[in-house]
Amino acid sequence: MCVFCKIISKEIPASIIYEDEDVCAFLDVAQVTDGHTLVMPKEHVDNILDCPPVLLSKIFSVTQMLSKDIVQKLDAKGVNVLTNANPVAGQSVMHFHVHIIPRFTEDGGLILKFRGNPAPDLKKIERILMK
């Protein structure tokens, strides 16, 4: 059983801030910023690529609700919402989860920086994706 399944089944204590029949959300023990929350299905699903669409929709509805609540209650200036799929993308626990990371300053706790590909072949990628 994965660590998140153990938290959901109450075998491991956690600071649960939301729970319903399908979704559980708790504070990440490794707070990137104050209020860093993980939202996930109670059902074990490896990642977003494997999540049934109806459940995915519910997870993101809860994520939006909690994001608004966290930003308002903690007086955050913004929020990052992200998920990782598979180790190559940074997923360390193989149970689908969404990070809500409140932002108080641009450089506090998390720095996201996109580097553009200097010479993308957009036509080639478009042909592949449009098949």
- Residues with a catalytic annotation lie at 97
Structure tokens at 30: 């490794």
The CA distance from 11 to 2, in Å, is 11
User: Is 95 within 8 Å of 40 (Cβ atoms)?
Assistant: yes
Q: How many CB atoms lie within 10 A of CB 71?
A: 17
Q: Can you read off the two tokens belonging to residue 66?
A: 């909690």
